[in-house]
């Protein structure tokens, strides 16, 4: 919030700004236990991601697609939304934003699997779609009947479909 606006309103940040600022720190996140006995695949889409170009500070807009397989923890959705909103005023490259999102989620939630695809609005007639995949080392030793192997197969199908959609959208 600009300083003049904040001063006119008694120097206080509005409750939305306070919530976004607090969620920028993963230590404040509300983390829940993942369902036991079920290896679920989560697909989450955040169509209103914004950040600032690190060179010009013009806004960049993207839809964030997340595919994850939780191990023991899941992030409460409000905190995920607020954290993604915390990028709004940050100068950060498309590639670094994707890397930071995956790295932070993997580190904080100890995910078995994470894939991010960020579909940015074209800028200067150039479409950028950074993609990053993380696989926990334990995924290399799965048997075909392991519930985690089934979840991984489902997650990779979703990942492949997202890539197909992003690539087909970028073709003339």
pLDDT digits (tens, 9 = 90+) for 16-72: 889 898 899 999 999 999 988 888 999 999 999 999 999 999 999 999 999 999 999
> What does pLDDT average to over the chain?
90
Which structural domains are found in the chain, ordered by start?
3-170 (3.30.1130.10)
Q: How many Å apart are CA 52 and CA 93, to the nearest integer?
A: 8
The pairing of strands 73-75 and 31-33 is antiparallel
Q: How many Å apart are CA 47 and CA 114, to the nearest integer?
A: 18
Q: Are 30 and 69 in contact (CB under 8 A)?
A: no
Residues identified as active-site: 53, 60
pLDDT tens digits, 149-169: 999 999 999 999 999 999 887
The pairing of strands 31-33 and 113-120 is unpaired
pLDDT tens digits, 53-67: 999 999 999 999 999
Residue 66: per-residue pLDDT: 98
């Amino acid at each position: 919030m600009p300083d003049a606006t904040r001063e006119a309103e008694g120097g206080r940040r509005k409750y939305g700004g306070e919530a976004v600022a607090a969620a920028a720190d993963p230590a404040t996140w509300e983390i829940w236990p993942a369902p036991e006995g079920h290896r679920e695949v989560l697909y989450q889409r955040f169509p209103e991601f914004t950040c600032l170009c690190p060179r010009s500070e013009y806004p960049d807009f993207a839809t964030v697609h997340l595919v994850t397989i939780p191990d023991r923890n899941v992030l409460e959705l409000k905190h995920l939304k607020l954290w993604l909103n915390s990028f709004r005023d940050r100068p950060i490259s498309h590639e670094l934003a994707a890397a930071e999102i995956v790295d932070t989620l993997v580190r904080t939630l100890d995910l078995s699997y994470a894939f991010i695809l960020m579909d940015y609005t074209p800028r200067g007639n150039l479409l950028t779609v950074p993609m990053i995949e993380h696989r926990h080392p334990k995924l290399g030793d799965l048997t075909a009947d392991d519930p985690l192997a089934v979840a991984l197969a489902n997650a990779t199908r979703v990942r492949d479909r997202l890539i197909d959609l992003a690539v087909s959208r970028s073709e003339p």
